[in-house]
Amino acid sequence: MLHKKFLKSEQWSRWGIAVLAVATTVPLQAQTDTATVSAAGQPVGAIQTEPLHSAPTQISVNAPTSHTVPARAALGAEGAAPPLNSLTTVGPDYRIAPNDLIEFNVFGVPDMLRDVRVNASGEISLPLIGPVPVAGLTAQAAEQQIAARYEEKYLRNPQVSLFIKEFTTQRIAIEGAVTRPGIYPVTGQLTLLRALALSGGFAPYADINQIVVYR
């Protein structure tokens, strides 16, 4: 179990500390990987990964290792936070899930270009061929399946491309000295500052040198 201080968000809030906990779908039994940011040797970041549908407060942290850098440097001299790479992009092994937003295109057929949302049944609706099940497939596998459907009746050697613009199978929990603490879905590109903006930003009494990140 997490340290008692993490379980009681009101304590973080009273100390002016903002806490971000990230829950993702992979891996099911991930090892903890930690990093810290501190202004004066004080812990600032620890990142913890867990499967979807598990509460962030159920994460266990065992003897993490750490290093420290100035918090303002982590946010950037101009206030622009570096992207959290684990949250901003999907890799080639990412499996499409319901509610993902996908850009669909067929090379040489501009009328086909459109954004489609994966419905609750895991399907997207495409011109001419109608609903196509894509949930659980990688983008490449879905491209091949869709191309085969078009090639059956409508197009010769279609070059289908899918780009995942938003993915909501990841969640981020923001607690402590923020305006609206809670659990938020991760959609598209996300930086540290954008994550904080989801919760309405820092509370007036927040100490921006005390940001704790759990993955």
E strand or H helix at 162: strand 160-166
CA distance 182 to 19: 10
Assess whether 25 and 63 both reside in one domain.
yes
Q: Which among 37, 34, 80 has a CA at the least distance from the CA of 214?
A: 34
For residue range 123-139, list pLDDT tens digits in order: 999 999 999 999 999 99
Within a domain: 88: no
Give me the phi and psi of 145, to 5 degrees please: -65, -45
Who wins on pLDDT, 68 or 142?
142
Three-class DSSP category at 166: strand
Assess whether 49 and 10 both reside in one domain.
yes
Within a domain: 89: no
Q: Does the pLDDT at position 118 exceed 70?
A: yes
DSSP 78-147: TSPPPB-HHHH---TTPPP-TT-EEEEEETT-GGG-EEEE--TTSEEEETTTEEEE-TTS-HHHHHHHHH
Who wins on pLDDT, 54 or 177?
177
For residue range 6-27, list pLDDT tens digits in order: 444 455 555 555 556 555 443 3
Give pLDDT, residue 171: 74
For residue range 53-80, list pLDDT tens digits in order: 444 332 222 333 333 334 444 444 334 4
Assess whether 175 and 160 both reside in one domain.
no
Assess whether 105 and 77 both reside in one domain.
no
Give pLDDT, residue 61: 27
Give pLDDT, residue 151: 96
Give pLDDT, residue 42: 41
Assess whether 162 and 183 both reside in one domain.
no
For residue 214, the one-letter residue type is Y
CATH at residue 141? 3.30.1950.10
Q: Residue 119 sits in which domain range?
A: 101-166
Give pLDDT, residue 49: 36
Supply the pTM of this predicted model: 0.47
Assess whether 67 and 39 both reside in one domain.
yes
Contact 176, 19 (CB under 8 A): yes
Within a domain: 94: no
Assess whether 13 and 66 both reside in one domain.
yes
Give pLDDT, residue 15: 54
The total number of structural domains in the chain stands at: 2
Give pLDDT, residue 79: 42
CA distance 27 to 50: 7
Give pLDDT, residue 10: 53
CA distance 48 to 176: 17
Assess whether 153 and 175 both reside in one domain.
no
Assess whether 78 and 175 both reside in one domain.
yes
Within a domain: 180: yes
For residue range 78-112, list pLDDT tens digits in order: 344 333 333 456 788 888 988 899 999 999 999 99
For residue 15, the one-letter residue type is W
